[in-house]
Chain A
Amino acid sequence: MFPVLKAASYVLMHTPDMVLNNGTTQTTERIVNPESEYLKKVNENLRPFEEIVSYPPNQCYIGNITPEELATYEMPWYDKAIEGATAHGKKGEIFEEDVFLAFIKASDSFDLVLLEKDFTESVRPKLEAYPGLNAKASTLPAGIELEKITTEIQNRGAEPLLYKGEVVGCVKRAHDIDVNLNAHVIFENLVVKASGMIAMERLFVLNNIDPASIDYVIECSEEACGDMNQRGGGNFAKALAEMTNCVNATGSDTRGFCAAPTHALIEAAALVKSGVYKNVVVAAGGATAKLGMNGKDHVKKGMPILEDCVAGFALLVSENDGEHPILRTDLVGGHTVGTGSSPQNVMSSLITKALDKGGLKITDIDKYSVEMQNPDITKPAGAGDVPQANYKMIAALGVMRKDLERTQLNSFVEKHGMVGWAPTQGHIPSGVPYCGFAIDDIMSGKIHRAMIVGKGSLFLGRMTNLFDGVSIVVENNPGIQVEEGSVSKEEIRKMVAEAMSNFAASLNQ
């Protein structure tokens, strides 16, 4: 039996202070052009929390509006606001920066995070506002004097933690020499841990899932934790499981740039299908490095800096329950070493390779979830509308295969595609943002089948020039069926009864 996609959660952490201090566009500018006009304008182009919450794509990310509803808003979206929008989502939550700093402290297992005492007390009551937040996620020890924090920053290379422009804490280095444990790396890794943790936390709380039922966690973000002897040793997954009270779980990290979440989804499905585990969580935290990545173009065009949130997500893959959408482990696509790099070959490997295994046409997939980057962010920066570009390529492939007519190109894009809504956090927009909606849409009968497609830019790691990508089909659950060639319980009962009857008859002879 195929495994099912049972639940999904999506979280955003509003981190305006981290845009200036931790986004690589800004930190690079500080090095090469410290007096730049852009750096002076960053703070005045950041949005307040209320605008983050009412921003239509963010409401879509946490599940309060559907992609179809988002599409009804005329672009640009940054000057639109959803009336009465709330930070509490049907599928997730948007958190303020001070609360996220508290999560970072709560995620600290080695006393590396210091928070100022007044700040600590000011955020403590906010943590109580979140229903179901477990003790590990909300436990904050008393803070310390600001003086001790500034000493760590000035004398020992600690990474400052800011809130509303003021230093309220720091992350200390974990080793005097090892660059893999310096304050910057520890900070980035704790951001992954804290945002991944809260995504899993919301997955369990919003879907009434017992963390103790989880057997395995696959973490699929884009950072690496380790030390000088094993730079990417790992493992975020086990750390997330520990934080969220998954007492019966172990886990491991899967990496593949932006393609990693779909790789992880396929791995989770395979682990459940094979019977190795019953409940596998796929989760990822977010990246501070990508904050404000396209900020220069946004500021140049008089826009707010839209990459101002760290994101996270979590998915649950479970044994077939006869209800939730099934993950078709037999309909998997993938870019292989021999695929080549022409756009036609790339799309064929990802899309039609999976479809051909099931004798399906391109039009048999009701919704394609590709790179769901928010075009409000990418278009002003010259990167275009990424989901739209992907849909056009899929449609063109469909025309080549004669699955659709040339005249149907635009209507295909409209019917089988979606507008993008996910923040440009690399792995975050890649295929998986639709998983939550896919569960709803398939279970309600709105659609029958979706394809999750993840792509990754492996060449950025300078180990190969190759691109990567994988895909998997998700479809409605036909109910638990007895597989061909297998025997049902009822049949076994009959066979035993028959054998006993024959045996009894033989005794009477």
Chain B
Amino acid sequence: MSLYDGKKVILLGDRDGVPAPAMEECLKSTDAEVIFAATECFV
């Protein structure tokens, strides 16, 4: 049972940090539902 199982998740990634698709990939092993994922550039 993962912390994210059964949760709806919003992902905000950082271009110079961890981008959203990478986080999405990590969550594939859980039952979390990614309802929004976006990577932004803060510079």
Contacts and interface: CB of A to CB of B under 8 A. Distances in A.
B15 A467 contact: yes
Contact of A457 (B15, B17, B25): B15
Interface in A449-506: 455, 457, 459-460, 465, 467
B18 interface: yes
Interface residues of B, number: 15
B22 A457 contact: no
A378 B39 CA distance: 18
Contacts of B41: 257-258, 457, 460
A343 B22 contact: yes
B43 A371 contact: yes
Interface string B12-43: 00011111111001000000000000111111
Contacts of A457: 15, 39-41
A389 interface: yes
Given A343-B17, A371-B16, A389-B17, A383 B42 contact: yes
A461 B20 CA distance: 16
Q: How many A residues are at the interface, by size bracket?
A: 20 to 34
A214 to B, nearest CB: 31
Nearest to A425: B43
A26 interface: no
A340 B22 CA distance: 8
Nearest to A460: B41
Contact of B16 (A381, A389, A465): A389
Contacts of B18: 343
A341 interface: yes
A455 B22 contact: no
Nearest to A466: B21
Given A342-B22, A342-B25, A343-B22, A465 B15 contact: no
Contacts of B20: 341
Interface of B: 15-22, 25, 38-43
Closest 9 CB pairs of A and B: A457-B41, A383-B42, A341-B21, A342-B22, A341-B19, A457-B15, A341-B22, A373-B43, A424-B43
Given A371-B16, A378-B43, A467-B39, 14 more contacts: A257-B41, A258-B43, A341-B19, A342-B25, A381-B42, A383-B16, A389-B17, A424-B43, A429-B43, A455-B15, A457-B15, A457-B41, A465-B21, A467-B19
